[in-house]
Amino acid sequence: MSINLNEIAKQFQLEGVVAEVAPLGEGFINDTFIIKTEGDSPNYILQRKNKKIFSPIPAMMENIQNVCLHIKEKVVAAGGDPMREAMTVTPATDGKLYFLDDEDEYWAVCQFIDDTIAYEAAETPELAYAGGKGIGKFQSLVADLKHPLTDILPGFHNIRFRYKQWDEVIAKDPVGRKAEVAKEISWIESRREEMLDFWKLVEDGTIPTRVTHNDTKVNNILFDKKGDVLCVIDLDTVLNSTVLNDFGDAMRTYTNTGSEDDTNLDNVTMNIEIFKAFTKGYLEETKSFLTEKEIEYLAFSAKYITYEQVLRFLMDYIDGDNYYKTKSADHNLIRTHAQYKLLTSMEEQFDAMNAAVKEFY
Ligand code: GN1
Ligand code: MG
C-alpha cells in the first residue's frame, strides 16, 4: 500500500502522540491497523472501510455512532464504564465520522480498549456461555434504539437475495469454474426450498425484525481478563434484521471444532457442548423478549447461517474471488468444503440442538 498511514492517522482527533501505525488482524473485508500512541494516551483502531461492500460509508458510520451512543447511555445508567463497555468512535479533525483520502478511500477510527482479549476460538463452555450472554445483552441493549438504521448492506443475510446473486453468477460462470464444482452446487440446490421457507417467515413478519449485529463471530467480542464480556465490536453490519442471524453466525464460529478454512475436514464438527453453553447464556439475556417463533427457529438459524456461508464462499469462488480476501486460488473452495462439513455436522445433531434450546428456554 503506497499510503502514508501516519498522515491518515493525523486526520483524526487523537489524544497523545502517534508512536506507530501497524497492521492488525486478518479481516476479510476491511484493512485494519492499530495506532499506538506514546505514554498513557489511548491506542486506536484505524480501518480503511471497504466501500465496494458497505455503501454508503458515511451512513454506515452514522449507524455505528448511533448504536455506540445508545449503548453508552445505558451503560452509564447502569453505573458501568462507557469507555470500556461500549465502542467509541473517534471523529476526524473536521468532526466527520470518517476521513476521505485523495484516492476516494474512506478511513475511520475507534478507540482501542486496553486489557481485553478477543478469542479466535471458543475453547471452553465457560467462554461460550459468556459469549452467549454478551450477544444476548447486546441485543437487549439495542432493542429500544429509536434512531432508524440505514440499510447499507441490502439483502445481507437474506437468502432470497443471495439466490438472486447466485443464479446470476451460475448463469454467467465468469471464470469457467462451474463445471468443476457440480457436486458443491448440488449441496446448495438441494436445500433451497428449506432455506426459503424459513426466510418467508421473516418476510411476512412471523419472525420479527430487530436491531441486530450480523457478524457475531467469536473474535468480535472483547472479554476482560476475568473472562467476562466487555463489549461487542465490529459494528459495520448493524442492521434491522432477525436476531436469528446473530445467534446463527455465533454458532457457526463458536461450535466449530476446526477452522473456517480447515483443509483437514476431520477437524471440523459441531461441538454440542459449546452449543449448549452459548444457548444457555444467550437465553438468560433474551428469553424475556424473544417470541416463541424466534425460539422455535433458534437451532435452525445455526444451519441457516452456515449454509449461507457455504453459498457465499462457493459463489465467490465461481465468480473469480471478488468479494473475500483469499490466500490461494482455491481458498474460497477450501472454505466452502470446511463450512459444508460443519453444516452436515449440525444437520446430524439437529435434534440435540433443539433439545438444548428447550432445556434453557
Ligand atoms: C466477513 O470481514 P469479516 O471477517 O468481519 C463477512 C462476514 C462473513 C465473514 C466470514 C461484511 O467478515 O459476513 O461471515 O467474513 N462480512 C461481510 O468469516 O461480508
Ligand atoms: Mg466484520
pLDDT of residue 227: 84
Q: Which amino acid residue places its CA nearest to atom 17 of ligand 1?
A: 29
- Top mutation candidate among 24, 26, 29 for ligand 1, by most atoms within 8 Å of CB: 29
For residues 42 and 60, give the distance between their C-alpha atoms in angstroms, rounded to a whole number: 24
Residue 4 CB coordination number (10 Å): 11
- On the question of pLDDT at 246 being above 70, the answer is yes
User: What is the average per-residue pLDDT within 286-315?
Assistant: 98
For residues 341 and 151, give the distance between their C-alpha atoms in angstroms, rounded to a whole number: 32
Q: Which ligand is nearest to the CA of 250?
A: 1
The Å distance, Cα 238 to ligand 2 centre, comes to 10
Q: Is the CB of 155 under 6 A from ligand 1?
A: no
Q: What percent of the chain has pLDDT over 90?
A: 96
SS3 content of the chain, % helix, strand, coil (to 5): 50, 15, 40
Name the band, by pLDDT with cuts 50, 70 and 90, for residue 2.
Answer: low
User: What is the average per-residue pLDDT within 64-86?
Assistant: 97
Q: Is-cis flag, bond preceding 42, omega within 30? A: no
- On the question of pLDDT at 228 being above 90, the answer is no
- CATH code 3.90.1200.10 region(s) in the chain: 125-360
- CATH code 3.30.200.20 region(s) in the chain: 5-111
Match 433439545 to its residue by C-alpha cell.
355
User: What is the average per-residue pLDDT within 333-341?
Assistant: 98
pLDDT of residue 4: 93
Query: Domain 125-360 has what CATH class?
Result: alpha beta
Which residues keep their CB under 5 angstroms from ion ligand 2? 215, 234
- Whole-number Cα distances in Å, 68 to 24, 26, 47, 238: 22, 23, 17, 11
The Å distance, Cα 259 to ligand 1 centre, comes to 14
Match 426466510 to its residue by C-alpha cell.
199
Could you tell me which CATH number the domain at 5-111 has? 3.30.200.20
Name the band, by pLDDT with cuts 50, 70 and 90, for residue 26.
Answer: confident
pLDDT of residue 89: 98
- Give SS3 for 210: strand
User: What is the average per-residue pLDDT within 174-195?
Assistant: 98
Which atom of ligand 1 is closest in space to residue 50's alpha carbon?
Answer: 11
Which atom of ligand 1 is closest in space to residue 237's alpha carbon?
Answer: 11
pLDDT of residue 58: 98
Per-residue model confidence as pLDDT tens digits over 345-357: 999 999 999 999 9
Question: pTM score, two decimals?
Answer: 0.96
Q: Is the CB of 260 under 6 A from ligand 1?
A: yes
The Å distance, Cα 300 to ligand 1 centre, comes to 20
Q: Is the CB of 234 under 6 A from ligand 1?
A: yes
- On the question of pLDDT at 1 being above 60, the answer is no
pLDDT of residue 135: 97
The Å distance, Cα 323 to ligand 1 centre, comes to 10
Q: Which ligand is nearest to the CA of 60?
A: 1
Name the band, by pLDDT with cuts 50, 70 and 90, for residue 27.
Answer: confident
Q: What percent of the chain has pLDDT over 70?
A: 99
